[in-house]
Amino acid sequence: MQSTFVRRLLYVALFVLYLLHNDLWFWDDPQLLFGLPIGLLYHIGFCLAAALMMALLVNYAWPRHLRDEEERESLP
């Protein structure tokens, strides 16, 4: 039950991340933060969030039959 809930939650988070990909709100903002344009910092944060999302998806939403098949093939 909990595994199904976590998977669904991750898929919803993935969809939200997809919606946040295009930053229309920072497109014309010339503000600098830490010496970098704020739009660039937004995309740095987005890349970190996407990497974390991929790690979570691999750990919690990867199909079990593929993982089991790979383990069987690696045995001598």
Residue-wise pLDDT tens digits, 13-63: 999 999 888 877 777 888 888 898 888 888 899 999 999 999 988 888 777
Parse the chain into domains and list their residue ranges. Answer: 32-63
Would you give the DSSP letter of residue 50?
A: H
Q: Which residue has the higher pLDDT, 1 or 30?
A: 30
The secondary structure of residue 62, as a DSSP letter, is S
- Alpha-carbon span 8 to 31, nearest angstrom: 37
What is the model's pTM? 0.70
Do residues 53 and 40 make contact, with C-beta atoms less than 8 angstroms apart?
no
Decide: helix, strand or coil at residue 8. helix
